[in-house]
Structure 1
């Protein structure tokens, strides 16, 4: 399943509902919650073992966030990558 998280702050309860093996894309203001020094950095690092985590490059850029400022292991993708993920996952859950 593909999860699109766009709200900030990111609720820990939302992350707990996401099954292993799922893909998660952080976009819009949610990219603020994936900073290396953020509250959720430890939890996100742990999720990388059994989840695929992505951040939308345009949303990082708009907010002045460089790729090296987010949790290591989160893949930065562009809009083409987002479209590819939506095609690859028949089930999509949006979290606002």
Structure 2
């Protein structure tokens, strides 16, 4: 039973993303929105944790591209393996997963 985890808080201000990654299971998807998107920038302190989630835990990571643009982050600065989605992609993720969990 796949779950979509949605994180909206900056990983540099709150631990929601780290908690989410610790609980996400293989086959789950994690979508970063709002201020959480800054955590996917290449070279951030979260690179190792994000790569472990994608490789070791087989979690799919996504970032909302309009939120990256709103924060001045260009797509080429996003860590390899993170898939960018628009609002329609956000809707597709909610439909594709049986459950949704928001991390506050």
Using the size of structure 2 for normalisation, the TM-score is: 0.86
CA contact (8 A) 2:5 2:20 kept: no
For 1:66, which of 49, 62, 74 is the aligned residue? Answer: 74
Using the size of structure 1 for normalisation, the TM-score is: 0.93
Superposed counterparts of 1:7-18, under 5 Å: 7-9=9-11, 11=15, 12-18=18-24
Q: Deviation at 1:34? A: 1.4
Q: Deviations over 1:39-87 (max 9, x none)?
A: 1111111221201110001000000001111211100000001101101
Count of equivalent residues: 96
2:4 maps to 2
Q: Deviation at 1:13? A: 2.7
Question: In structure 2, what is the Cα distance between the partners aligned to 1:29 and 1:89?
Answer: 23
1:94 maps to 102
Q: Which moved more, 1:3-12 or 1:86-95?
A: 3-12
Question: In structure 2, what is the Cα distance between the partners aligned to 1:42 and 1:68?
Answer: 18
Across the aligned residues of Structure 1 and Structure 2, the Cα RMSD in angstroms comes to 1.1
Question: In structure 1, what is the Cα distance between the partners aligned to 2:98 and 2:48?
Answer: 29
For structure 1, the residue ranges without an aligned partner over 5 or more in a row are: none
